[in-house]
Amino acid sequence: MRGWAAAVASVLMLTGCGLGPSGGVKDIDPLSLPPRLLADAPPTAVPSRDPDSSGAAVYFLRDTTLRPAVRTLTARTGVPALQELLNSLAAGPDGTDRQRGVSTALPPTTRLTVTGLEGDLATVDLSFGQVPPDQTTAIAQIVLTATSLPEVNRLLLTIEGAPLQAPLANGAQTDRPLTRSDYVRMLRPS
């Protein structure tokens, strides 16, 4: 009887610790985590007088994956917060980011202009100035960055007001609104 009670207690302890009865570890989908938990360095703050600790992030390239770099925003929500975040992305990695070994697929001439935010759909007009060598990664950086804000779940990219035929991580192209799930595979090594 004691052996049976010990076995039940062990199973209860393991399940309480997040392990299943088999003792296996369960992978966690990175999309279910706040961007600030995926960052591998302390947050890089954008200078502000009244910082927002929402955990908004810009996504930069490190090796072959996209990694979040947490940003503190002066704007709290809506179009001002999204525009501030996209301006930070377009500016490229700062000194702290470069020390972490990150880069960007966005050309230095990139301009991102928020033209609308209705419900969870943001619309951003895009101008690269020059075509980026890796358009899929560049678009993924924009989508993952915009959707790091809690109020943005979908992003419609336009060029001079017309929907952009955007490359997806799976190689397809679309002009529909883009989501984090379109680029999730770029958050992990292949």
Looking at residue 189, what is its pLDDT?
Answer: 56
The answer, yes or no, to whether residue 120 has pLDDT greater than 80, is yes
pLDDT tens digits for 9-66? 443 344 444 434 444 444 455 554 555 444 443 333 332 222 334 569 999 999 889 9
List the helix and strand counts (H, then E) for the chain.
5, 9
With residue 135 as reference, give the H or E element that holds it. Answer: helix 135-146
Looking at residue 34, what is its pLDDT?
Answer: 53
Residue type, 33: L
Whether residue 75 contacts residue 151, with contact meaning beta carbons closer than 8 Å, is answered with no
pLDDT tens digits for 143-157? 999 999 999 999 999
What's the mean per-residue pLDDT of the chain? 79
pLDDT band at 7 (very low <50, low <70, confident <90, very high): very low
Looking at residue 35, what is its pLDDT?
Answer: 54
Whether residue 57 contacts residue 36, with contact meaning beta carbons closer than 8 Å, is answered with yes
Instruction: Give the closest residue to 88 by CA, choosing from 100, 75, 71.
Output: 71
Q: Coil, strand or helix: which one is 33?
A: coil
The answer, yes or no, to whether residue 121 has pLDDT greater than 90, is yes
Question: Mean pLDDT throughout 108-119?
Answer: 96
Looking at residue 104, what is its pLDDT?
Answer: 96
pLDDT cut 70: percent of the chain above it: 69
Question: Mean pLDDT throughout 105-134?
Answer: 94
Structure tokens at 86: 């996209």
Beta strands (DSSP E) in the chain are 44-45, 57-62, 65-72, 111-118, 121-127, 154-159, 162-163, 166-167, 173-174
The answer, yes or no, to whether residue 131 has pLDDT greater than 60, is yes
With residue 125 as reference, give the H or E element that holds it. Answer: strand 121-127
Whether residue 94 contacts residue 43, with contact meaning beta carbons closer than 8 Å, is answered with no
